Structure 1
Amino acid sequence: MIKFKRTFTLITSLLIAASVFTSCTGNNSKSSSSKKSESVLNIAGFSEDPGTADAQKRTDTYLMPLNLYDRLVETETVDGKPKQVPSLATKWDVSSNGLIYTFHLKKGIKFTNGEEFKADDVLFTFDRMLDPKTKALNTNFLDMIKGAKARMSGKANSVSGIKVLDDYTIKITLDKPFAPFIADLATPACSIYNRKATEAAGSKFGTSPSTTVGTGPFKIKSWKLNSQITLVPNKNYFKGAPKLFQLNIKVVPDAETQKMMFETGRLDVLDLDNVSSQAKYFQTSPKWKNHIVSGQRVGINYYALNEKFKPLDNVKVRKAIEYAIDRKTILEKIQNGNGQLENGIMPHGLDGFNANLPEIEYNKTKAKQLLKEAGYPNGFTMEIAQDTDSPNTLKLNQTVQAMLADVGIKVKIKQIDDSTYYATRAKGLLPTYTSEWAADYNDPDNFIYTFFAKDNSFARSFNYKNKAVFNKVEEARKITDQSARIKLYQDIEKTIVNDDVAWIPLYSRTKMFVIQPYVKSFNVAWNGWGDMKYSDVTVK
């Protein structure tokens, strides 16, 4: 999942915060009993105005798409595990060669403009994403469809692989087998739009109440720039209307303001990721510790080692670095113990997670011995890169810097701005860095292919060299037997992590929210995103 950071000047933050408090006081100065009767839920959804609810135009926030639209398929937690379940599509058939997917759509579903949902809306939505004029940011979720690349390059006026068979049946043909396709379609980026409303709105689609039309549980009532977006239930929602009377999504630019608003009752839900320095306070507070809701974040924090830079091209050096990092201490120090150590690429909670991987050892003696064997008995100097506006990342890197110094490795932390950071990474030239990846879709492909397909390894500055692994990664995408696919992915994972040490896993985080006592039926999303559906939440 791609994320972008935002920087605000102090004066802008103060002005926005002031407008938030004015809005809260003016519109929601009600007692708890009043909230109970009206079922109004207040959340801090954004640190700046999102500008659009068009899921094809944003990759850093999916809060509104999850609540305004639906997908053909959804990923939901079933019996404690994430699973793809029918949504706008009641069922689907897959050809024996894994190329043709035929979706049978649910009848009688209405968009919020009164139009009936039909197969043509699916064709329109997917074609719109691949149309170069849209400038969509999520084309990778559909570029495996036959004719997608020709459409994206402007060589075709439509996508040849998408065909409407009748009003409630649509056929999608792929260029080559892509086993994760169903899981892939469950991402918010693949939200389905209404052709009539979207074409009428043009470039303004998703930017105001009147230009935002979906089939989802909510619809937009009002949108006050840099202040609040108000959602109300879609009373005709085909899965049953939400019980909330109103969902107020507030724009709150800084963590301290969010904490203060929550403690004074102006927010009903607080995402502790947004106030990470205060997580321990809420966990130990007699008032709040019993009102924390947590769940598994299906994501992983890791270190990428760029093998282009010597001596990181030596596997013994990479293994020495791994031995020198005390991951348990890092989890306690950086995350206050809120998470679990990971030993591979696929984290806890993901389909394909391997609980039997060898535990990565912390051993300074072995680290020094390997450095000696590699020809660096006195250590060496290396760089760790990070963006400038990330104090938590700096804290992590400084902790690792001290650990590596204990075995003779001198680390220089290089802070660079966001645009330079990502441009350098895309050229394969970013030094060692730490990052986090959270699941977009529930399939090993979302982790293994993302980092260790040949082109992706270069674009993410791993510069991994194992051609046999590259071939297996491509092969795994074509296998339709899920058990066989997972076995292959787990073999690939062992090679990358245990044999080649091309990836140093750290930990996955526990996702935590603190909620007001009157908020009920609040459950963390299957993947532990802060962006989640609020259709089942109640205020009592």
Structure 2
Amino acid sequence: MFGFKKSNVNLDNNYEKKSQKKDISLLVNNEEKIVDKIGNKISETDFVVENLILTINSISQYIEVQLNSINKVVEEIDTYSSFAEEVSASTDSSKDIYSQTLKVAEEGSEAVSESIEAMVDIEKSVNYSKSVVNTLSTKAADIHKMLDGIKEIADNTNLLALNAAIEAARAGEAGKGFAVVASEVKRLAQRSMEFVSYISDTISEINESIQDTTVAMDETIERVKNGSDISNNTLAVFKRITGAINESNNVTEEIATAVSTQTESLEKIMTSTDDMNRTFENLTFSVETASLNTQYTKTSLKSLYKIAEDLKVTTKDLLDSIDAESKKDTVLRTCIGSCPNNYDPAVFYDSELVDLFSNLHSGIFIIGESGDILPGIAKSWYVKEDNLTWVFNLRKGAKFHNGKEISAEDVKYCYERLLSPKLKSPNSWVLEDIQGAEGFRNGFSSSVSGIEVLDKYSISIKLSKPYSGFLLNLAQSFCAIMDKDELEKGNIVGCGAFILEEKDEKGCVLTSFKDYFNGASYIDKIVVKFGKEKLAQRIIDKEYDFAIISNKEDMDKIKNKDNLCINTNILMGTYYAGFNLESKSIFASNAQLRKALNLAINKKRIISELLGGMGEEAKGPIPPSIIDNSYLSDITYNPRLAEELLRKNKAKGSTINILYRDTSDDILFNKITKYIIEDLTDVGISCKLIKVPVSEYLDPRSIKKCDLCIGRWLADSGDPDNFLQPTFNPANVANLSRYNNPLVIEKLEEAKALINPNKKLQLYREIQQIIIDDMPWISLYHPKAAVAHRKGILGLRLNSLGFINYDNIIVR
């Protein structure tokens, strides 16, 4: 089918033989197409302006809400300020009351102290009285004893008087006088007995009174003691009251100080709020001005669109008036590195095929020359307030290659097909952030809950968590939108700039899709050959009109050819030497030693001698086409410093095991390995090769055998998360170093949810610096690629993902 002869467009005749006329039919074709594309781009810009107007209106509404909120805050602050003043006044009153209460409490404490002293004196007096009464009781007892003696004497005297009377009676007349005496003595003894009995009764009564007095005194002493205890307790209470009052007074003073400070802060807040009010008023004015200017822009674009339509008509009239021969198809020839197993974009994973599939298919977005997204099938889009739900508005009239109009149902079907467990696409990860995607992919649900068709031309996609990089995922070729009805029949019908006209195992033919939503391509056909054998020579021999060059050998052969042009670009990729951080090597546990090896490797020599300049020395892991690396410090080749660090850490003469692909020494990875070994040997490191088959090189079991491996990572999109998550998250097998820093994972998740591009960029810069400090990689270089083409071809611009949008190619 494919003879791959020279192209139908004789570029040499156009530019090398100046005497011949230019191909008028080609000029007519280019003029028609460029006018048509101008109209499409103006229309596309109009969509963007509409989106901008909606955004500005939303901002205006949010500002109004914010202003109202600020005014409410001001009112609340005023109220709170008044309340704070009242609290301050009440606090001052409380301080006065506390002072008075403290004075009363101190006076009460003094009175209780005096009462306690008086009670002590009473207790002493009562105790003294008790001792006197006790003495009196003792004296009364002594008197009672004396009375007992007197009573005994009286009894004896009475007995003697009785005996004397008896004797006087016996004496007769002679004893009469003695009898009178004896009678008087008896009467005296009887009266003594009476007095003794009376005195004894009186003393008994005194004793009883003394006992009663003693009991009363004991009770008085007990009550005095109780009163003293109560007074002591009262004194303690007064002391606690005094302490509490003092403490309350201190707290009140602290409250007063805090209220005073808070009042000052409130005054500052009031000032700041006034500033915010003025700022928002200025912002409102700016937004209104921007809205007005945007409306003017929209009006101008509408006028420009009408002019473009007029230009299209007049150009057609002009071109119709030109006597040009019937135009032949403009055909260009090129090649790609491999042959696709099938032409279903949902399942391809070979990076060599991106060039082909990105031109056969389109999605909601397409990837531009800088790697950023451009409107594809979607003319506009926005995210709702929840920061999760994205709404996409499709272009009306956009068509598939079979002429059928594209609808939101086709989009939903293609996304669910990509996630389907039946398809088992290796690319389903790009949609894993959609709500319900995981359950659907695991067969737990019949549809993806986060994808909803709003109407024929609108679809919403709700994410499980905020992720602004999701839009870049939708621009991937494997997120292409295809005809739902044809897919159900097993046919692949896309909507890209080119239609697959023919194909076999040697190559394929792409034909311009005349109804492409971005305007038909300038080139009618592109013949693509599979394989890059003898690439440079075939470009020189004009078998190919253009081709992508990615190695030194081909570049050396064509770089000085006068009839060829070369355009280069840095790709979103990094070649690196990765440390196995789970190995027992001293390099796995010491970042300073890893830095020493980094300093020991001459990256410039690798780029110059192995790549022929087709690379840029890496400062860090992230390619500069994703995040500008000018803020990073260079880790330049410095073997002397490397040796110093090795000696300092006692690693001079150590051995490192390097994983090696057991195949030809001429493959690039093995050449790089050889250069690294030479540099490490020069600083005193012994290198041992661990050879494994190429097919097993990236196997985790192979990585475990080594201390260092040589790898490469190419980004799928320009999203930093898309580059960092696979290579530095321990949950992913592509993290060959088994690097595990929780802070990096935390910051990656934080950055993933950010919408603000400046904050997002700053956070990714911080993440890259952390990784560089930990040094799980020796970042070697970021590869470059070039597109070589014959003179007279324009628009061959290689983007940072390494492919070309064929619809921009123009033959002069």
Residue 307 of structure 1, CA deviation = 0.7
Equivalent runs, 1:279-318 vs 2, <5 Å = 279-288=555-564, 291-309=565-583, 310-313=585-588, 314-318=590-594
Give yes or no for contact 2:575–2:781 (8 Å, CA) kept in 1: yes
SS of aligned partner of 1:455: coil
Matched, 1:500 2:774: yes
1:424-470 deviation per Cα after TM superposition (whole angstroms, max 9, x unaligned): 379866652223323321221122222122313x5422111322222
The residue number in structure 2 matching 1:50 is 340
Give yes or no for contact 1:426–1:460 (8 Å, CA) kept in 2: no
Give yes or no for contact 2:658–2:706 (8 Å, CA) kept in 1: no
State the alpha-carbon separation in 1 of the partners of residues 383 and 703 from structure 2. Answer: 38
SS of aligned partner of 2:567: strand
1:365 counterpart (640, 643, 649): 640
Equivalent runs, 1:146-185 vs 2, <5 Å = 146-185=435-474
- Quickly say closer, same or farther: Cα 1:67–1:29, change in 2 above 3 A: closer
State the alpha-carbon separation in 2 of the partners of residues 152 and 459 from structure 1. Answer: 22
**Counterpart amino acid of residue 538 in structure 1:** I
Give yes or no for contact 2:536–2:557 (8 Å, CA) kept in 1: no
Note the residue ranges of structure 2 that are not aligned, 5 or more in a row: 15-22, 27-327
The residue number in structure 1 matching 2:132 is none
SS of aligned partner of 1:62: helix
State the alpha-carbon separation in 2 of the partners of residues 322 and 331 from structure 1. Answer: 15
State the alpha-carbon separation in 1 of the partners of residues 704 and 728 from structure 2. Answer: 13
- Quickly say closer, same or farther: Cα 1:520–1:387, change in 2 above 3 A: farther
- Which one is further off, 362-371 or 429-438? 429-438
Matched, 1:412 2:691: no
Query: Which portions of structure 1, spanning 4 or more consecutive aligned residues, are displaced by more than 4 angstroms?
Result: 27-37, 425-431
Matched, 1:354 2:629: yes
Higher relative strand content? 1
Matched, 1:255 2:235: no
**Counterpart amino acid of residue 358 in structure 2:** L
Residue 297 of structure 1, CA deviation = 1.9
1:286-340 deviation per Cα after TM superposition (whole angstroms, max 9, x unaligned): 454xx11222323222221111121232212211111111112221112222332
Give yes or no for contact 2:372–2:718 (8 Å, CA) kept in 1: yes
State the alpha-carbon separation in 2 of the partners of residues 427 and 134 from structure 1. Answer: 31
**Counterpart amino acid of residue 4 in structure 2:** C
Residue 130 of structure 1, CA deviation = 0.5
State the alpha-carbon separation in 1 of the partners of residues 655 and 341 from structure 2. Answer: 47
Give yes or no for contact 2:698–2:736 (8 Å, CA) kept in 1: no
**Counterpart amino acid of residue 439 in structure 1:** A
- Quickly say closer, same or farther: Cα 1:172–1:30, change in 2 above 3 A: closer
- Quickly say closer, same or farther: Cα 1:44–1:296, change in 2 above 3 A: same
The residue number in structure 2 matching 1:337 is 613
State the alpha-carbon separation in 2 of the partners of residues 425 and 434 from structure 1. Answer: 15
1:90 counterpart (370, 373, 379): 379
- Which one is further off, 278-287 or 509-518? 278-287
Give yes or no for contact 2:653–2:686 (8 Å, CA) kept in 1: no
The residue number in structure 1 matching 2:711 is 435
- Structure with greater contact order relative to length (CA < 8 Å, sep ≥ 6): 1
Matched, 1:66 2:340: no
SS of aligned partner of 1:524: coil
Give yes or no for contact 2:656–2:708 (8 Å, CA) kept in 1: no
Give yes or no for contact 2:501–2:510 (8 Å, CA) kept in 1: yes
**Counterpart amino acid of residue 755 in structure 2:** T
- Quickly say closer, same or farther: Cα 1:105–1:387, change in 2 above 3 A: farther
**Counterpart amino acid of residue 460 in structure 1:** N
Identity of aligned residues (%): 27
Matched, 1:272 2:549: yes
Matched, 1:24 2:4: yes
Residue 387 of structure 1, CA deviation = 6.2
The residue number in structure 1 matching 2:655 is 380
- Quickly say closer, same or farther: Cα 1:510–1:104, change in 2 above 3 A: same
State the alpha-carbon separation in 1 of the partners of residues 686 and 523 from structure 2. Answer: 55
Residue 100 of structure 1, CA deviation = 0.9
- Which one is further off, 238-247 or 311-320? 311-320
State the alpha-carbon separation in 2 of the partners of residues 474 and 514 from structure 1. Answer: 41
Give yes or no for contact 2:483–2:492 (8 Å, CA) kept in 1: no
The residue number in structure 2 matching 1:188 is 477
Matched, 1:491 2:760: no
Aligned residues: 495
State the alpha-carbon separation in 2 of the partners of residues 502 and 142 from structure 1. Answer: 29
Residue 361 of structure 1, CA deviation = 2.4
1:110 counterpart (372, 377, 399): 399
Give TM-score scaled by structure 2 length: 0.58
**Counterpart amino acid of residue 378 in structure 1:** G
Residue 172 of structure 1, CA deviation = 0.7
- Quickly say closer, same or farther: Cα 1:355–1:120, change in 2 above 3 A: same
- Quickly say closer, same or farther: Cα 1:454–1:185, change in 2 above 3 A: same
Note the residue ranges of structure 1 that are not aligned, 5 or more in a row: 1-18, 202-210
2:671 counterpart (395, 412, 423): 395
Matched, 1:241 2:513: no
- Quickly say closer, same or farther: Cα 1:429–1:190, change in 2 above 3 A: farther
The residue number in structure 2 matching 1:421 is 697
**Counterpart amino acid of residue 394 in structure 1:** N
SS of aligned partner of 1:435: strand
1:515 counterpart (781, 785, 789): 789
Give yes or no for contact 1:229–1:250 (8 Å, CA) kept in 2: yes
State the alpha-carbon separation in 2 of the partners of residues 233 and 395 from structure 1. Answer: 42
The residue number in structure 1 matching 2:330 is 39
State the alpha-carbon separation in 2 of the partners of residues 442 and 278 from structure 1. Answer: 28
Give yes or no for contact 1:386–1:433 (8 Å, CA) kept in 2: no
2:746 counterpart (458, 468, 471): 471
* RMSD, matched Cα: 2.3
- Quickly say closer, same or farther: Cα 1:381–1:295, change in 2 above 3 A: closer
Larger C-alpha radius of gyration, 1 or 2?
2
Give yes or no for contact 1:112–1:214 (8 Å, CA) kept in 2: yes
The residue number in structure 1 matching 2:39 is none
SS of aligned partner of 1:312: helix
State the alpha-carbon separation in 2 of the partners of residues 429 and 470 from structure 1. Answer: 26
- Quickly say closer, same or farther: Cα 1:287–1:533, change in 2 above 3 A: closer
- Quickly say closer, same or farther: Cα 1:109–1:363, change in 2 above 3 A: same
Give yes or no for contact 1:453–1:473 (8 Å, CA) kept in 2: no
Residue 410 of structure 1, CA deviation = 1.9
1:230 counterpart (478, 498, 509): 509
State the alpha-carbon separation in 2 of the partners of residues 356 and 396 from structure 1. Answer: 27
- Quickly say closer, same or farther: Cα 1:99–1:367, change in 2 above 3 A: same
Residue 134 of structure 1, CA deviation = 0.7
Give yes or no for contact 2:368–2:374 (8 Å, CA) kept in 1: yes
**Counterpart amino acid of residue 652 in structure 2:** P
1:53-80 deviation per Cα after TM superposition (whole angstroms, max 9, x unaligned): 2111111122232111111122314xxx
